[in-house]
Chain A
């Protein structure tokens, strides 16, 4: 009689795995289901959390024993004959060699999207284009110093977390990458970790988006805990600002994009993506505006959520560094939030 566990390999690989992996897989499946539930309830950001939660549950449930060729491509080394290597048919984020990558793109269904759009930051740029279309630069133009002061306060968590992360034993590049979580800007964290600490960009990005999703639900409670009711009751008057024409905003977008690219070429793709969105909005290109604020923004957000969920595979997440990243990430956000 054939072994039933060979037939239902998700269960078979669970039974066959070491207890640590088994607990992590079951825990991540439960966490994934919980993220979907909390997303539906509106406690967490649903646009990101529902695809992410489902991806997380599916990738940890759908582990099978890979055939020898795929196993060799995923592990990037020769596999002993008859060895049972567990893996998934979603994607293999850690593969580096071109031959293995080309082979896996024909096997893993999300590998092409991961390789061509996620690991080079294209998805982050798509999100920035969408944000650019929704962004009114009028306030920054009318009150540049107040805007910069707020932006600097938001980075306090980043600055304070950096030396703490080095003290935790991370290299300066890794420390800078995880400290960026304090800026509460997902695409920026993705971009920074890709540039500075490629070896940890998967766990750093996952930690960042997980916390940003939690922040959405948790900040009102944090503010209530930190700011007394008397202060929260003060009605803030917004000082009137002179109206700024769309021509002025368009010229500003072009000049600001060019100057910032000149000053910081390393972030030029993000500057271009953001300001092209602003330019489209201010030039009144309705067709492009609809394209960027609809299919591009929501398509990128959906794929981002799905890929982040699939990246939360037990083997990737069980790296001991992830625990440090979890502590440092929440610290950076907690320090930045009240400062703003």
Chain B
């Protein structure tokens, strides 16, 4: 039973971390796009 709990805990933690990383990727992507647009406007 304990190992099932461990597996579920790892999966939940993995899910949380994965979606947090996905959110981070989205933010990084938007920041880069914004920076690119600004550079494009200036030139």
Chain A residues proximal to chain B, CB less than 8 Å: 140-142, 144-145, 147-148, 151-152, 155, 159-160, 162-163, 166-167, 172, 175, 244-245, 247-248, 251-252, 255-256, 259-260, 263
A115–B15 alpha-carbon span in the complex (Å): 36
CB distance from A198 to the nearest CB of B (A): 21
Contact of B18 among A152, A160, A166, A259 (CB under 8 A): A152
Q: A167 and B3: CB pair below 8 A?
A: yes
- Majority secondary structure, B binding face: helix
Provide the B1-41 mask, 1 if CB < 8 A to any CB of A, else 0: 00110111011001101110111111011001100100000
Give every chain B residue within 8 A of A144 (Cβ-Cβ): 21-23, 25-26, 29
Are A140 and B25 within 8 A (Cβ)? yes
B7 pairs with A163, CB closer than 8 A: yes
* The one of B11, B21, B33 that contacts A148, using a Cβ cutoff of 8 Å: B21
B4 proximity list for chain A (CB < 8 A): 163
A159-B10 in contact (CB<8A): yes
A21 CA to B21 CA in the complex, in Å?
50
Main secondary structure of the interface of A (DSSP, over half): helix
Q: Which residues of B contact A (CB under 8 A)?
A: 3-4, 6-8, 10-11, 14-15, 17-19, 21-26, 28-29, 32-33, 36
Q: Which residues of B contact A145 (CB under 8 A)?
A: 19, 22, 26
Closest 8 CB pairs of A and B: A144-B22, A144-B25, A163-B3, A166-B3, A148-B22, A148-B18, A248-B32, A159-B11
Given contacts A145-B19, A148-B19, A151-B18, contact A172 B3 (CB under 8 A): yes
Q: How far is the CA of A252 from the CA of B21 in the complex (A)?
A: 12
* Residue numbers in B under 8 Å from A263 (CB-CB): 17
Contact A152 B14 (CB under 8 A): yes
Given the interface pairs A152-B15, A167-B3, the reply to whether A247 lies near B36 with Cβ below 8 Å is yes
Which of A162, A252, A259 lies at the interface centre, i.e. has the most chain B CB atoms within 10 A of its CB?
Answer: A162
Docked CA distance A142–B14 (Å): 21
Q: Which residues in B have their C-beta under 8 angstroms from that of A162?
A: 3, 6-7, 10
What is the CA–CA distance of A260 and B21 in the complex, to the nearest angstrom?
9
CA distance A166 to B28 in the complex (A): 40
- Beyond the given pairs A147-B22, A151-B18, A159-B11, 17 more chain A to chain B contacts, judged by CB atoms under 8 angstroms and listed by A's residue number, are A140-B25, A144-B23, A144-B25, A144-B26, A144-B29, A148-B18, A148-B19, A152-B18, A159-B7, A159-B14, A163-B3, A166-B3, A248-B32, A251-B28, A252-B25, A252-B28, A260-B21
